C-alpha cells in the first residue's frame, strides 16, 4: 500500500487529502470525510485526475455528512461500546484496562490490544450461527476507509478500529454483513436476505452506524 497526501480546495477552504493506493485487485475508489480531512482508497493504477474528479463530485456532500455526525471524543471522555467513559486525570478506562490518553491515534493503538480479541470472539460466534465452516482470520485497521471488509482470497475479515465507539449490536450488524459475503459476494437482494435473517434490525443499526449514533 502506498500513502500520499495533498491539499484540496473547496468553497474557499483547503482540506488535507490522504490517498491510500492499494492492490490492483481493488477496482473502485472510496471517499470519506472525517476529522476535517478526506481519506481516499483507490487502486494503484488510478490517475490523480480521477481522484480530483471524485472530490469535485462528492466533496461537498461528504463534508456536510461528516460534520453532521456525532463525535466519539470530547474534552471530557470518549464513547466505548456505546457508553460514554470519562477521562480522569488524563487516563481512560477501556473495558477494565486504563492507559494514558495522549491523542486519538494513540488511543486506537492502545485500545486495539483490548478490542481485537472481542471482535474475533464475535466473528467466531456468528460463524457458528451462520454456518460458516471455515473460521476467518480477523484483523483491525486504524482508521480504515470502511467499517468492514471481507477479503475472500485470503479468507480474512478486516474491521475498523472506529467500531469501538459503537454498541455491540451495531458492531454485530457489521460482522453479520461481512460474514454474509461468505455466501454471496455482491450486495444483491439474496445477500441482504442472509443479512436480515441473522440481523433483523440491520437497517436500523446501519442507520445509527452511518449517523454516528453510538448507543
For 75-126, write each residue's pLDDT tens digit: 889 999 999 999 999 999 999 999 999 999 899 999 999 999 999 999 999 9
Among 4-8, 57-61, 141-145, which stretch is predicted with the lowest mean pLDDT? 141-145
- Residues of the chain with pLDDT > 70, as a percent, come to 95
Residue 144 has pLDDT above 60, yes or no: no
Give the contacts of 202 (CB within 8 A, at least 6 positions apart). 173, 176, 177, 192, 195, 196
Which whole number is the average pLDDT over 197-210?
A: 93
- Which cell numbers in the block locate residue 150? 471481507
Which candidate, 95, 124, 136, places its Cα nearest to that of 112?
Answer: 95
Q: Are 92 and 98 in contact (CB under 8 A)?
A: yes
Mean pLDDT of the chain: 90
Which whole number is the average pLDDT over 134-161?
A: 88
Amino acid at each position: 500500500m502506498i500513502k500520499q497526501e495533498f491539499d484540496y480546495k473547496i468553497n474557499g477552504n483547503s482540506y488535507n487529502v490522504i490517498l491510500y493506493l492499494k492492490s490492483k485487485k481493488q477496482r473502485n475508489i472510496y471517499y470519506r470525510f472525517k476529522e476535517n480531512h478526506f481519506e481516499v482508497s483507490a487502486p494503484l493504477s488510478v490517475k490523480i485526475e480521477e481522484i480530483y474528479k471524485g472530490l469535485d463530485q462528492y466533496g461537498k456532500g461528504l463534508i456536510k455528512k461528516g460534520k453532521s455526525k456525532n463525535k466519539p471524543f470530547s474534552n471530557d471522555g470518549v464513547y466505548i461500546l456505546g457508553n460514554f467513559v470519562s477521562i480522569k486525570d488524563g487516563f481512560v478506562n477501556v473495558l477494565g484496562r486504563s492507559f494514558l490518553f495522549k491523542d486519538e491515534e494513540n488511543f486506537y493503538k492502545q485500545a486495539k490490544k483490548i478490542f481485537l480479541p472481542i471482535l474475533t470472539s464475535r466473528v467466531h460466534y456468528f460463524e457458528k450461527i451462520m454456518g460458516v465452516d471455515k473460521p476467518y482470520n480477523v484483523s483491525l485497521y486504524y482508521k480504515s476507509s470502511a467499517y468492514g471488509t471481507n477479503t475472500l482470497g485470503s479468507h480474512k475479515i478486516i474491521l475498523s478500529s472506529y467500531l469501538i465507539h459503537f454498541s455491540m449490536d451495531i458492531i454485530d450488524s457489521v460482522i453479520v454483513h461481512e460474514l454474509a459475503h461468505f455466501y454471496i459476494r455482491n450486495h444483491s437482494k439474496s445477500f441482504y436476505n442472509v443479512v436480515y435473517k441473522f440481523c433483523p434490525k440491520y437497517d436500523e443499526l446501519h442507520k445509527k452506524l452511518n449517523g454516528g449514533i453510538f448507543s
